[in-house]
Amino acid sequence: MDEVIAGRRGKPGALLGILEDLQTLHPHKFLPPETLEYVAEKVGLPVSQVFSVATFYAFFNLQPQGEHTLVVCRGTACHTRGSKSRLEALKRILNLKEEEGAEKIFLTTADKRFTIKTVACFGQCAMAPVVEVDGRMKSHVTEVCLKELVNALAKGGKRK
């Protein structure tokens, strides 16, 4: 952590870069509270400010992520083109259940292989419905495509 902080210190957007690098380096791709507290101490910022940045940006994760992350867009264009049924299909495929009335979804399989999340909008409306898979956008996603994708990832294959 010290190396990451030292490499970014004094640069524009240093805090964002530090948090991004530390999240990427964590085996479960998230920022534990101890990490945020350590960063605050080392860069001389209040802990509340570091937590505010980490919670403001959707990119940052405060909970452990699965090996593979699938993010379903819930924007208007994606919704009208079936993103809700894609989300439901993913939950069925991975045998995950959400809390009733949850506005934002964050579910991880027991074996920590997959995490499903939702985002308000990716801004990729012309490609709706959109699902981000391990950081790569998939457009015009169908339920069949999702099933094949999850099966390939579960077997250790590459994203299609």
pLDDT at 141 > cutoff 60: yes
For β-strands 68-73 and 114-119, DSSP reports them as parallel
Query: Can you give the residue ranges of every domain in the chain?
Result: 2-56, 68-154
Least confident span in 16-25, 55-64, 96-105? 96-105
pLDDT digits (tens, 9 = 90+) for 50-86: 999 999 987 899 989 899 999 999 999 999 999 999 9
What is d(CA 29, CA 20) in angstroms, rounded to the nearest whole number? 10
Kindly tell me if the per-residue pLDDT of 100 is higher than 70: no
Over residues 100-106, mean pLDDT: 70
C-alpha span between 27 and 102 (Å, rounded): 27
Report CA dihedral (49, 55, 60, 62) to the nearest 10 degrees: 100
CATH annotation of 68-154: 3.40.30.10
Quick one: pLDDT at residue 103? 67
pLDDT category at 159 given cuts 50, 70, 90 is: very low
* Inter-residue contact 74 to 132 (CB < 8 Å): no
Distance of CA 28 to the CA centre of its chain: 11
Q: Percent of the chain at pLDDT above 90?
A: 69
Res 148: pLDDT: 93
